[in-house]
Structure formats: structure tokens, C-alpha cells
């Protein structure tokens, strides 16, 4: 770890000021010299590994009063960015009306981490690519733009099959984001000019030619809340992983359905563990709408979701696995009791 | 009694709580890096980012500017150290690759610099700021890499003396009615004990104290003295508690003498706490293996021919191997046996012991093959073992001192509910999950080594036992205290045990599951010396040796003796007769068959274990049987193991509580090894990829739903005075095969490569 200054932000203005003042405009957010600190479970790890080297830390935890509310409305939901993963996962109304959110959180990380970690930090967590996290590797385009990609022909079992580029195949590791993207969540962003809102799907960016730029947030901007319109009681999160807990997804599916009289009115399919960013399988969703569910349909939907997938040496299995996970999750969503 | 403290059966001690339980759960137990030092400087290691080549240049300017940096030690200014030979060649070292000696790099993560600073943080920051220029050469990573060399283990590894063989394998295999040939792969694994590989060194004048988690304080003391070129009596190694060893702390690693040398030069104590990922390359690991088994049997399942071939990866510098064929060729009755172990040299660090080193990979192959043979024969796999059970090992015809293998199978099968298994693969399921039942035999050689002890008894019964044994989490303090209490007839609470200090009387390495047998035999012997003195004083007329043997036997608690009213001696009267306040005895014990130089070697920190197959007229092993339930998800192919049942017989069980805990941990580790653990190697550069505890998978609580340990009563008077076979490494041997056998039952798929991951399943 390198020395850094530490500042507690007592109100949002101060946080934004502190972050903008220290942030050099020409750095992407991931390398900005000032970083907000929430639970710290990603940030501090990466600082110890010397991957992130901020000179200034702005602790936003004092904003929790204003930014950690869990507010279920009659037909909507608002979640403060500093709400703890564990609190949201345990919330009865979220379990009832947004089970995909509750279980994506409950199946993530460990109890200790969920008690520390916040929703804002969770969606902003960075890839677990081993080469990214090991600075003795020069060649990582995400950490060291233009240097190449050690994972491309290296050990890449955990890497992505969707949304990859020739520059980077790192998986976006989080779980919650698949639920948020599926439910068309809106991200509320607080910056110098006040707040702005964007669809969750516009928060993250595919690696393309600049894998170091991971989101559309600018230095000096903070996520203050997420909101969702409507209720999604018929929704599930299915996660396949190497062990029973405390493990990132090899493949996961966030499914939300609106089924009336056996016909699927609306369908949402988010994919995790397989893509470079939170992933929405819109082509797959289109196949579901207006249809009655059966296994053949589930298979077509799964195939569509992975139509563009490209595997590498150790991760090709994720394509077949991902399809089975989607098909099974759809089945679970259709048959669940609500 | 609770599940954690099973009631003792015949020939078992009491399940008393751990001697060190309170200290550990309250955080009072001090590990190496907790030891207070006077004004220490902090060291941080810099390790190589290439596996082969040389360092061209260090750029230290940036690093030196970090406030608090005292010195940066590289090969250009490192203290000069003498070489130590590999432990198996009469030395102490786990590797002969000595870092900081030259600009050459022989493996990934080799120590290339030590940054010393006023604080840990400054040292770490400065290390991050060192820039290194290398000239890298293409390394050979493992089996499939170009540039490796392969040769038979025999002739290059002093401890691998023979490839066991008997009869005419080729002819018998040719003629066999039923044949099986199969290849097996096991991965690189790392011990990852919770305690990091910390070392603190403090000099007081010419005397050096080392605080380091070690499984062999005498070995480390003598090894470091040799490297520093000083008298071994000037070196003291202290570690009252060791945060897990599993073999990783059995032999000396290069870091210790380096830190000692730097501390000497700076005239200041130095504390080193390496990181988790550095632990993957500055110590040893379990080497990957490739094996082939050939089995020939008649239709009734009688084995006629067995051939086991294994290849193991080692470093360029050292010919390390585990050669598990010594066990697999002797486990079952089979008249025609052949075997071959070879070593593949690659650009890797030298591997080393890891819990049950030979048996884990080699029994995985044999016990998987036995299951496959049972399927071919359409026979219950338990029955196949019964048919081939034996009282004498087939290679030399020597009798097993005792062998309860089939009793273990029967007990475990009953507890597990094996009878409910429908033998057809894919025939059992529960919702989304296919269910498989599998089993395998487990075994581990009984070993012991020369050990000394000092025991001191006070008039009021207070007892102090001193022995340089090691508490690596097994319960060593507890069973030693129990031995002394029982032997001297004093209450357990009055016994204090001192271990983990090379100033105490020597004990062997805490490895090869020999500790309880060796240390307790020595302690028992020394307690008897005290009893002799007391008897002689109190009852000068009698034949004391006989009397002593008669009246207090091992396994009788003081309470039961008191009840019987035959307490032989009033201790206070004996002390009065002697006219002293304290009786103290020192003694040195060695097992039967130990070499002549045993005691000298013991003081020199050299291992002289005897036992297993290497005994003269007999062969000694502990046995067990393991049954597992595996569940494979039809959709995700996730594999879970909700139930592990093991029955074990290992001679006298000193303490059923600590024994169960060891065996339970072994079963869990075995499951981990079958389904999760593997160190991934990047073949391009021979570097470890998943060198942290998030990516190097081990089970979490949710993976361990049910573990049942059954302790069988077994008495074996032919092995050592305490009748202990040792069980620390017994349980994690059979589990790999049991799980793969269960996966076959669940899915119909035979998987021969560990660990089994969901992408290996096709259903
Ligand atoms: C061993 C391990 C296993 C894990 N397993 C899983 C898993 O299975 N599934 C899963 O989803 N996650 C998993 N995680 C990741 C964990 O969930 C995240 O680390 C956590 O959610 C991050 O939240 P935080 O509040 O601690 O973020 P921090 O570490 O404080 O911040 C993370 C990043 O986001 C930025 N940031 C924080 N808050 C804001 C904000 N409000 N606006 C803008 N930027 C912000 C920070 O500057 C930082 O760059 C695991 C982590 C570990 C260590
Ligand atoms: S996959 Fe992306 S993060 Fe990983 S090494 Fe390649 S560029 Fe870096």
C-alpha cells in the first residue's frame, strides 16, 4: 500500500468537492487519484495489492444517514447507495416483491463481507482477473492501457465469453448488477452540478478498446441511489459456482417475469459470471414475450442469450453451462409460488 | 459425552478438552509474529516475476526514498551464507535453491530482495517501488512443457531406494480374465496454513533467537546454524504454537538464515511477515503427478497382477519425490506386482511434504482403480476389498502388526447406510440432484523417531514436562499432559507442558504422523524413571520395576486407581525418604530398529524415523474406510458432498476428542482435494496464478454439511510402548477416490483427474 490522505465527507457536497478537487481530469475514474471509500472490501484489497494507488481517500460512510435508506413504495423501490448488502438481502418486502434482488445479494460473498459492503460499492466492484490483480504482470490493458492482455492466452477459466474484446476478457464479477440491469433500474448520480439519473444499463461500459474505462461515472461523481419501477415478485437469481457459498458465479441468471394466464407478458434476463459487464440478454427476452412457457422455448431462449458468446481455452464450458443456467432459472421463475 | 468428545472404547484415553483451548479461543496463544521484540525493524520480501533467467538490474532509487527504509538487500549485498544440503541428503533444507546468492532465477516467486524499514508499511511500500529488469528465458512449467527431463527416482533420490516388485507382473496381467488400465492426474497443491510464513530473528551477542512456526525446531536450529557457520548451541528456535503446518514447516526454507543474517548485520531484531501469495513460492508444495494403474484379476475378484507407475514434477536442483508405490504395492494381496516412480525436472521450486505426501496421490489412483474393477466384475466394491484383504504384505511377505481394514469398512458401511445404495450408476436422485455413494480404503504408515524428554515432579504433585515437540493444532500438548498424568498418577490439572523450543530436549519432526507415538513414548519412559526413583526411596526392599509395571498401567486414570484402592505409593512419603523437594529426570527413547546413530542425529536435528514398510520383520499401518455421498446438479453440474463417514483404527487412541478432530479435518481436506484445491500454473511462464485464498479454493462451512468419524478399538503391542499408530495423516488419503467413485455412481462418469470441477461433468 502507498501513503494516502484520508478525509471524511460529512455531506454530499463536501464529498463531491473533495473527489473533484483531487481528481485529475485526464485519468479515468478507475485510476483517479481520489477514490470514495464505502465498505472498502474492494478498494482496500486493491490498494494492498498495489493495483489501485489513490493519493486521496474520501470516506463517504458519514453520508449513510441520507444515503442508506431502503424505501419500498407501492409500485416502486428506492435503495440508497450506502445501504448494506446484508440489510437489503434481509428486508422482508424486498424478499417478497423483488426476490431476484434479495437472492443476488444473499448469494454473494460472505456474511462478513455483506455486513461491510454497500450497494454502490458492489456495483462498482472491479474484476477478479488474476492478472489484473497481480502487478508483477506488466501486460494488462485494464490496469496498464496498451500493454496487452495476459489472460487472453493464459489461465482464463473464470473469464468472460460475452462482451469481450481483443483487449480484455475480464469478467464483471458482481451479482446484484444482473438483478438491477434486468429490472431496468435507474442510477441516481450526485455530482458537482447536482444529481442526474441514468438507466443502470448505461452505467457500465464494455471493454472495447479501452478496458480501463469501466463506467460512465466521471471523477467527482457518486452513486447516491438506485430506483426501480414496478414490482417483480416472479423473479429469481440462480448462481452456479464451485462451492456452496463465498464464491463468485461461474454463471448466473437473473430472471424476472410477468406471467398472466400462462402467457409471458414481460420478461427480463440478466446474465452474470459470463460477461465483461452486467449483461442483459434482450434478444432472449424478445423470444419470451407473448409466449407460453415450455422446455423448447427455454432452450431457444438460452441459445439466443449465448448466440454471440466466444470461449477461450479454459472458459468455453461457460457457454453450455450458461445456457443450462438460463433454462433452469426460467423454469424456476415460471413455476415459483407467488 | 458429545459428538465432539466421543466416549472412549477399549484402549482409548479420556476425551479431555484441549490443554491450550482457552489460550487459543481467547487469543492469548502467541504465534511467531506475536512475539514481542525490542525495537524491531520490519522486513518485506520482493519475489521474482519470472521463473527462469537472471536479474539485469535493480532500480532502487524510488524505493530508497520511502521514509523509514533502512536497507534493501539484494544478491549484490546479501549476507554470505553457507549452503545446506537437502534434508533427504543429510542436510536440513527443503530446497537447495538458495536465493540472493546470484542474479540467477530458478523458479517463480524466488526471493530477490529484502526491504528492511522502520515499519511494515514502509517496507511494503518501498518493495512496491523497486523496479527490476530481467532477462527471462522460456521456462518449463510442468509435464507438457518442452525442456523437461525425466528419469527414474531410484538412483537420484536417496530416500527412494526401490521400486517395489514381486512375481511376474507381465505374465500374470496377460493371463488375467479381467483387466483394467487407467491413467490418473493429481494437481499441484499448497498447504496454506492460516499462520503466514513469518520469521523473527533477534541476536543477543552471539546468540540467536528465531521465532518461526516450525514443525521441527531442532532441524531449523541446526540448519540455520550451519548456514550461518555458527555453533548450533547458539541458536534457539521458539514457537509454542504453530498455526498449522501440514508439512509446509517441516524442513528449513531459505528465508530464515537470510533474515538472521540481515538482523546480525543491522544489529537489530527483524520481523518478517510474508504475504499469502509469497507463501506459495517461498516454501514447498505438493507436486503434480501423473500415474497409470494396471490391474488384472480373476472373475471372483482375486487380484493377480498390479502395476503402478507414477511421475512427479520436481525442481531442476533437487530430486524430490514421494513415491507412494511403497504403500500401494503392499495394500492388497496380489502375487505379481510391478512399479516405477520417475521424476520430471522443470523450472519450479522444489516440492515437499504435504499432509500424507505419498498416500494422497497414489491411493487416489489405486482406490479409484479398485472401484472401477469392482464395477467391471459387477461386484460390491467393499467385497472386492474383502476378497483381497491380507495379513501379510505381498512384496516382502511381512505381517502387518495389526490391520483392521475390513472392520473399518463394515462399521463405516453400517453407519453410512451403504446397504441402501442401488448399485446402478444414475439410479439415485433427489429433485435436481443426482446422488452417488462411493467408498475407498485409507491407510497411513505408522512411524516413530527417537525422542528425549525431561519431567519434573514436585512433592505436591505439580508436574512439568519439557520436550521440543510441536503443537501444530493436533492436540500434542493435551496428549503429552495426559500421558504424564496417567503415568505419574497425578491430576491432569497439575501437569504443565513446555514445547516448541529448541532449548528443550529434542523431539522428532512433527511429520509423518509420528509425534504422538514418539513424544508420548519418551515421556512415558521418563515418567517411569521418576517412578523408579520414588519406589526405590519409599520401598527399598522390593523389586521395583515389576511393582511399578503392575500397579499403574497406561489407560488407568488416577480416579480409577484410587477407587481400586491400589495406589502404590504415597508420593509425599517418597519425597521425605529421598529428602528432596523435586525429582527431575531426563531420558532418551528410541524405537526398535532405530539406527545406531539415532541419538546423535536427534540432537543434530536429523530425522531418523522408522516404521511403515521399512521395519525389519513386520509392517505397520493404520487403516480406515471412507464413505461419501455426492450430489451432482443435473442442470448446473455443481458437485457437492453433503456426507462424509469414516471409520478408523489406529492402535491406542490417546484422546478421542483430539483424534476425532484430526480425522474430521482430514476428511474435509480430502473432500477439498477432490473437488476444489489446485494451484493453477500458467504454462507460458511457469508462474502460479491463483495464489490467494479467494482463488485457491478450499471448502467453506456451507460445503461441509455432515462429517461422521468412527473410532475403532484396536490394540497393537508390537509398534511402540504407547501402542499408538498415529492418525494425523490418515483421513485425507482415501477421500479423493471415494468422491470420484461416488461421482461415477451418480453420473456414470469415471473421472481420473483432480480436482473434479463442474465442467468435467457430462450428464
Ligand atoms: C473474497 C470475496 C468474495 C466476494 N464474493 C462476491 C460475490 O460472490 N458476489 C459479489 O457480488 N461480490 C462479491 N465480492 C465483492 C464484494 O461484494 C464487493 O467488494 C463489495 O460489494 C464492494 O462494496 P464496498 O462498499 O465494500 O465497496 P468499496 O470497496 O468501498 O468500493 C468499491 C469501489 O467503488 C467505489 N465506490 C464505492 N461507493 C461508491 C459510490 N457510492 N459511488 C461511486 N463509487 C463508489 C470505490 O471508490 C471503489 O472503487 C466478494 C469480495 C471478496 C473480497
Ligand atoms: S482480461 Fe482484462 S483485466 Fe485481465 S489481464 Fe486481460 S486486460 Fe487485464
HSE-CB of B20 using CA atoms within 13 angstroms = 25
Residue-level pLDDT at B563: 40
Whole-number Å distance, alpha carbon A75 to ligand 2 midpoint, is 41
Query: What pLDDT band is residue A31 in, cutting at 50, 70 and 90?
Result: confident
| Distance separating alpha carbons of residues A214 and A193, to the nearest angstrom | 22
CA distance A194 to chain B (A): 38
- Are B758 and A321 inside 8 Å of each other by CB? yes
| A141 lies in some domain | no
Contacts of B257 (CB under 8 A, 6+ apart): B81, B223, B224, B227, B228
Residue-level pLDDT at B573: 82
Query: What pLDDT band is residue A327 in, cutting at 50, 70 and 90?
Result: very high
**Counting atoms of ligand 1 from 1, which one is nearest the CA of A247?**
8
Q: How many helices (H) and strands (E) does chain B have?
A: 19, 28
- Quick one: DSSP state of residue B619? B
Of A158, A243, A321, the CB nearest to B703: A243
As beta bridge partners, residue A198 has: A187
Whole-number Å distance, alpha carbon B540 to ligand 1 midpoint, is 77
Specify whether the CB–CB gap between B514 and B611 falls below 8 A.
yes
Residue-level pLDDT at B557: 40
Please give the model's pTM, rounded to 2 decimal places.
0.96
Active site (annotated) includes residue B729: yes
Q: Is the peptide bond before B695 cis (omega within 30 degrees of 0)?
A: no
Of A1, A110, A245, the CB nearest to B121: A1
What is the Cα Rg of chain A in Å? Answer: 19
Whole-number Å distance, alpha carbon A34 to ligand 2 midpoint, is 23
Could you state, in order of their start, the residue ranges of all structural domains in chain B?
32-139+193-282, 449-607
**With pLDDT > 90 as the criterion, what percentage of chain B qualifies?**
93
Measured between CA atoms, the residue of chain B closest to residue A151 is B682
| Distance separating alpha carbons of residues A277 and A14, to the nearest angstrom | 30
Mutate to test the pocket of ligand 2, among A51, A126, A132 (most ligand atoms within 8 A of CB): A132
Contacts of A4 (CB under 8 A, 6+ apart): A47, A54, A55, A56, A57
What's the order of all strands across the beta sheet hosting B463-466? Answer: B495-498, B463-466, B451-458, B582-589
Atom 2, ligand 1: which residue's CA is nearest?
Answer: A109
CA distance A155 to chain B (A): 6
Atom 20, ligand 1: which residue's CA is nearest?
Answer: A122
Residue-level pLDDT at B541: 64
Per residue in B148-195, pLDDT tens? 999 999 999 999 999 999 999 999 999 999 999 999 999 999 999 999
User: What is the SS3 assignment for A319?
Assistant: helix
Give Cα B151 distance to the centre of its chain: 27
pLDDT at position A244 over 90: yes
Per residue in B206-264, pLDDT tens? 999 999 999 999 999 999 999 999 999 999 999 999 999 999 999 999 999 999 999 99
Matching residue, cell 432472449: A284
| A126 lies in some domain | no
| Distance separating alpha carbons of residues B480 and B475, to the nearest angstrom | 9
Q: What is the mean pLDDT of residues A199-227?
A: 97
| A181 lies in some domain | no
Contacts of B424 (CB under 8 A, 6+ apart): none
Give Cα B481 distance to the centre of its chain: 22
Residue-level pLDDT at A148: 98
Q: At what angle do helices A295-305 and A317-335 cross, to 10 degrees?
A: 140
The answer to whether the complex's ipTM is over 0.90 is yes
HSE-CB of A38 using CA atoms within 13 angstroms = 27
CATH number at residue A330: 3.30.390.50
Per residue in B531-588, pLDDT tens? 888 888 877 665 544 555 444 433 334 444 444 444 456 788 889 999 999 999 999 9
| Distance separating alpha carbons of residues B536 and B544, to the nearest angstrom | 7
Q: Is the peptide bond before B755 cis (omega within 30 degrees of 0)?
A: yes
| Distance separating alpha carbons of residues A274 and A170, to the nearest angstrom | 9
Question: What DSSP line would sit under B600-624, residue for residue?
Answer: HHHHTT----EEGGGSSS-B-EEEE
Task: Among A15, A40, A62, identify where a domain stops.
Answer: A62
| A123 lies in some domain | no
Residue-level pLDDT at B359: 98
pLDDT at position A48 over 60: yes
Measured between CA atoms, the residue of chain B closest to residue A138 is B49
| Distance separating alpha carbons of residues A111 and A120, to the nearest angstrom | 17
What is the Cα Rg of chain B in Å? Answer: 27
Is the torsion defined by CA of B545, B547, B548, B554 positive or negative? positive
Look up the CATH architecture of domain B449-607: 2-Layer Sandwich (3.30)
CA distance A249 to chain B (A): 11
Higher pLDDT, B442 or B548: B442
Our answer on whether the CB atom of A175 is closer than 6 Å to any ligand 1 atom is: yes
Q: What is the mean pLDDT of residues A292-299?
A: 97
Q: How is residue A251 written as a grid cell?
A: 454463471
Q: How is residue B390 written as a grid cell?
A: 491380507
Whole-number Å distance, alpha carbon B485 to ligand 2 midpoint, is 61
Closest to B719 (Cα-Cα) out of B673, B672, B650: B650
Matching residue, cell 486493491: A46
Per residue in B381-396, pLDDT tens? 999 999 999 999 999 9
User: What is the SS3 assignment for A325?
Assistant: helix
Mutate to test the pocket of ligand 1, among A109, A129, A177, A198 (most ligand atoms within 8 A of CB): A109
Atom 48, ligand 1: which residue's CA is nearest?
Answer: A43
- Are B128 and A251 inside 8 Å of each other by CB? no
Residue-level pLDDT at B404: 98
Arithmetic mean of pLDDT over chain A: 96
Residue-level pLDDT at A26: 65
Specify whether the CB–CB gap between B679 and B186 falls below 8 A.
no
Contacts of B580 (CB under 8 A, 6+ apart): none
Q: Per residue, what are the HEC states of A203-240?
A: CECCCCCCCCCCECCCCCCEEEEEEEECCCCCEEEEEE
Q: Which of B13-27, B269-283, B566-580, B649-663 has the lowest mean pLDDT?
A: B566-580
Query: What pLDDT band is residue A25 in, cutting at 50, 70 and 90?
Result: low
Specify whether the CB–CB gap between B340 and B321 falls below 8 A.
no
Task: Among A62, A83, A105, identify where a domain stops.
Answer: A62
As beta bridge partners, residue A251 has: A240
| Count of domains observed in chain A | 2
Arithmetic mean of pLDDT over chain B: 95
As beta bridge partners, residue A246 has: none
Matching residue, cell 479398485: B370
Look up the CATH architecture of domain B32-139+193-282: Alpha-Beta Complex (3.90)
Terminal-to-terminal C-alpha distance of chain A: 49
Q: How far is CA B665 from CA B3, B527, B626, B702, in A?
A: 14, 32, 13, 15
Mutation target among B69, B280, B759, B760 for the A interface, most CBs of A within 10 A = B759
| A292 lies in some domain | yes
Q: Provide the domain limits for residue A330.
A: 235-335
Amino acid at each position: 500500500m502507498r501513503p494516502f490522505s484520508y478525509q471524511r465527507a460529512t455531506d454530499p457536497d463536501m464529498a463531491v468537492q473533495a473527489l473533484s478537487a483531487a481528481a485529475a481530469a485526464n485519468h479515468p475514474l478507475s485510476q483517479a487519484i481520489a477514490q470514495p471509500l464505502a465498505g472498502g472490501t474492494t478498494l482496500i484489497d486493491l490498494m494492498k495489492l498495489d493495483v489501485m494507488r489513490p493519493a486521496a481517500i474520501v470516506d463517504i460512510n458519514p453520508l449513510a444517514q441520507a444515503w442508506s435508506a431502503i424505501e419500498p413504495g407501492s409500485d416502486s423501490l428506492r435503495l440508497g447507495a450506502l445501504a448494506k448488502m446484508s440489510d437489503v438481502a434481509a428486508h422482508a418486502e424486498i424478499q417478497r416483491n423483488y426476490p431476484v434482488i434479495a437472492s443476488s445479494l444473499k448469494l454473494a460473498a460472505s456474511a462478513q463481507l455483506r455486513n461491510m459492503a454497500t450497494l454502490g460499492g458492489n456495483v462498482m466492484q472491479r474484476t477478479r482477473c488474476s492478472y489484473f490483480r497481480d502487478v508483477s504482470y506488466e501486460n494488462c490493458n485494464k490496469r496498464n492501457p496498451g500493454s496487452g492482455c495476459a489472460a487472453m492466452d493464459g489461465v482464463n477459466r473464470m473469464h468472460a465469453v460475452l462482451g469481450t474484446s481483443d483487449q480484455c476478457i475480464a469478467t464483471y464479477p458482481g451479482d446484484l448488477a444482473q438483478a438491477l440491469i434486468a429490472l431496468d433500474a435507474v442510477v441516481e448520480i450526485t455530482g458537482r452540478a447536482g444529481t442526474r439519473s441514468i438507466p443502470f444499463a448505461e452505467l457500465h461500459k464494455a471493454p472495447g478498446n479501452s478496458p480501463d474505462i469501466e463506467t460512465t461515472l466521471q471523477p467527482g461523481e457518486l452513486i447516491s441511489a438506485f430506483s426501480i419501477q414496478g414490482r417483480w415478485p416472479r423473479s429469481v437469481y440462480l448462481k452456479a459456482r464451485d462451492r456452496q457459498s463465498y464464491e463468485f458465479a461461474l454463471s448466473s441468471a437473473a430472471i424476472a417475469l410477468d406471467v398472466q394466464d400462462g402467457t409471458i407478458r414481460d420478461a427480463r434476463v440478466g446474465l452474470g459470471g459470463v460477461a465483461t459487464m452486467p449483461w442483459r440478454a434482450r434478444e432472449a427476452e424478445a423470444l419470451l414475450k407473448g409466449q407460453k412457457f415450455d422446455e423448447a422455448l427455454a432452450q431457444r431462449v438460452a441459445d439466443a442469450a449465448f448466440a454471440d458468446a466466444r470461449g477461450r481455452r479454459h472458459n468455453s464450458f461457460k457457454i453450455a453451462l450458461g445456457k443450462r443456467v438460463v433454462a433452469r432459472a426460467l423454469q424456476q421463475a415460471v413455476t415459483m409460488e407467488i | 459425552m458429545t459428538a465432539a468428545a466421543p466416549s472412549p472404547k477399549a484402549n482409548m484415553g479420556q476425551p479431555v478438552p484441549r490443554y491450550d483451548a482457552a489460550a487459543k479461543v481467547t487469543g492469548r496463544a502467541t504465534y511467531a509474529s506475536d512475539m514481542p521484540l525490542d525495537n524491531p525493524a520490519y522486513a518485506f520480501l520482493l519475489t521474482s516475476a519470472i521463473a527462469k533467467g537472471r536479474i539485469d538490474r535493480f532500480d532502487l532509487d524510488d524505493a530508497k526514498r520511502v521514509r523509514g527504509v533502512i536497507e534493501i538487500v539484494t544478491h549484490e549485498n546479501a549476507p554470505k551464507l553457507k549452503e545446506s544440503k537437502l534434508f533427504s541428503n543429510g542436510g536440513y533444507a527443503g530446497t537447495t535453491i538458495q536465493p540472493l546468492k546470484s542474479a540467477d532465477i530458478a523458479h517463480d516467486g524466488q526471493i530477490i530482495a529484502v526491504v528492511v524499514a522502520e515499519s511494515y508499511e514502509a517496507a511494503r511500500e518501498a518493495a512496491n517501488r523497486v523496479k527490476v529488469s530481467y532477462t527471462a528465458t522460456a521456462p518449463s512449467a510442468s509435464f507438457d512443457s518442452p525442456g523437461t527431463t525425466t528419469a527414474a527416482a531410484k538412483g537420484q533420490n536417496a530416500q527412494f531406494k526401490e521400486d517395489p516388485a514381486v512375481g511376474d507382473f507381465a505374465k500374470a496381467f496377460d493371463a488375467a480374465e479381467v483387466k483394467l488400465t487407467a491413467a490418473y492426474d493429481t494437481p499441484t497443491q499448497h498447504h496454506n496454513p492460516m499462520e503466514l510464513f513469518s520469521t523473527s530473528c533477534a541476536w543477543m551477542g552471539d546468540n540467536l533467537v528465531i521465532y518461526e512456526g516450525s514443525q521441527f525446531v531442532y532441524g531449523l536450529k541446526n540448519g540455520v546454524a550451519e548456514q550461518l557457520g555458527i555453533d548450533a548451541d547458539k541458536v534457539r528456535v521458539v514457537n509454542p504454537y504453530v498455526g498449522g503446518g501440514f508439512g509446509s514447516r517441516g524442513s528449513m526454507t531459505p528465508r530464515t538464515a537470510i533474515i538472521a543474517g540481515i538482523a546480525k548485520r543491522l544489529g537489530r531484531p527483524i520481523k518478517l511477515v510474508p504475504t499469502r501469495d509469497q507463501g506459495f513460492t517461498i516454501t514447498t508444495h505438493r507436486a503434480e503427478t501423473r500415474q497409470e494403474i494396471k490391474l488384472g484379476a480373476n472373475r471372483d475378484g482375486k487380484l493377480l497382477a498390479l502395476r503402478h507407475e507414477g511421475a512427479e514434477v520436481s525442481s531442476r536442483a533437487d530430486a524430490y519425490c514421494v513415491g507412494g508405490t511403497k504403500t500401494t504395492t503392499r495394500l492388497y494381496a496380489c502375487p505379481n506386482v510391478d512399479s516405477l516412480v520417475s521424476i520430471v525436472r522443470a523450472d519450479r521450486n522444489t516440492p515437499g511434504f504435504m499432509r500424507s505426501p505419498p498416500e494422497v496421490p497414489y491411493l487416489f489412483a489405486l482406490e479409484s482403480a479398485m472401484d472401477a474393477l469392482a464395477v467391471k466384475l459387477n461386484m460390491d466394491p467393499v467385497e472386492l476389498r474383502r476378497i483381497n484383504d491380507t495379513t501379510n504384505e505381498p512384496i516382502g511377505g511381512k505381517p502387518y502388526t495389526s490391520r483392521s481394514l475390513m472392520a473399518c469398512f463394515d462399521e463405516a458401511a453400517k453407519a453410512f447406510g451403504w446397504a441402501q445404495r442401488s448399485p446402478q450408476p444414475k439410479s439415485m436422485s433427489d429433485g435436481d440432484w443426482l446422488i452417488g455413494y462411493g467408498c475407498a480404503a485409507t491407510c497411513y504408515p505408522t512411524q516413530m523417531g527417537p525422542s528425549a524428554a525431561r519431567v519434573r515432579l514436585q512433592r505436591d504433585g505439580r508436574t512439568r514436562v519439557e520436550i521440543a515437540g510441536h503443537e501444530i493444532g493436533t492436540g500434542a500438548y493435551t496428549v503429552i499432559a495426559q500421558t504424564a498424568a496417567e503415568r505419574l498418577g497425578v491430576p491432569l490439572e497439575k501437569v504443565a507442558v513446555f514445547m516448541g523450543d529448541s532449548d528443550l530436549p529434542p523431539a522428532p519432526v512433527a511429520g509423518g504422523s509420528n509425534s504422538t507415538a514418539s513424544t508420548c513414548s519418551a515421556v512415558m519412559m521418563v515418567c517411569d524413571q521418576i517412578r523408579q526413583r520414588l519406589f526405590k526411596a519409599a520401598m527399598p526392599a522390593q523389586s521395583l520395576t515389576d511393582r511399578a509395571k503392575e500397579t499403574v498401567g497406561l489407560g488407568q486414570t488416577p480416579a480409577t486407581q484410587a477407587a481400586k484402592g491400589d495406589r502404590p505409593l504415597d508420593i509425599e512419603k517418597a519425597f521425605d525418604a529421598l529428602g528432596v523437594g523435586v525429582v527431575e529426570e531426563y531420558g532418551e527413547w528410541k524405537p526398535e530398529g532405530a539406527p545406531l546413530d539415532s541419538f546423535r542425529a536427534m540432537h543434530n536435528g536429523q530425522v531418523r524415523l522408522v516404521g511403515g514398510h521399512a521395519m525389519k520383520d513386520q509392517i505397520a499401518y493404520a487403516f480406515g474406510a471412507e464413505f461419501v455421498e455426492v450430489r451432482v446438479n443435473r442442470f448446473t453440474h455443481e458437485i457437492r458432498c453433503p456426507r462424509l463417514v469414516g471409520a478408523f483404527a489406529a492402535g491406542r487412541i490417546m484422546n478421542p476428542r483430539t483424534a476425532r478432530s484430526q480425522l474430521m479435518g482430514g476428511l474435509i481436506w480430502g473432500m477439498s482435494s477432490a473437488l476444489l484445491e489446485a494451484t493453477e500454473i500458467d504454462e507460458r511462464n511457469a508462474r502460479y496464478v491463483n495464489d490467494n485464498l479467494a482463488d485457491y479454493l478450499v471448502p467453506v462451512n456451507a460445503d461441509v454439511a455432515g462429517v461422521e468419524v468412527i473410532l475403532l478399538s484396536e490394540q497393537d503391542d508390537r509398534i511402540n510402548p504407547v501402542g499408538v499408530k498415529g492418525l494425523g495423516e490418515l483421513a485425507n488419503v482415501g477421500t479423493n477416490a471415494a468422491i470420484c467413485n461416488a461421482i461415477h455412481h451418480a453420473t456414470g462418469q469415471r473421472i481420473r483427474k483432480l480436482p473434479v470441477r463442474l465442467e468435467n461433468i457430462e450428464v
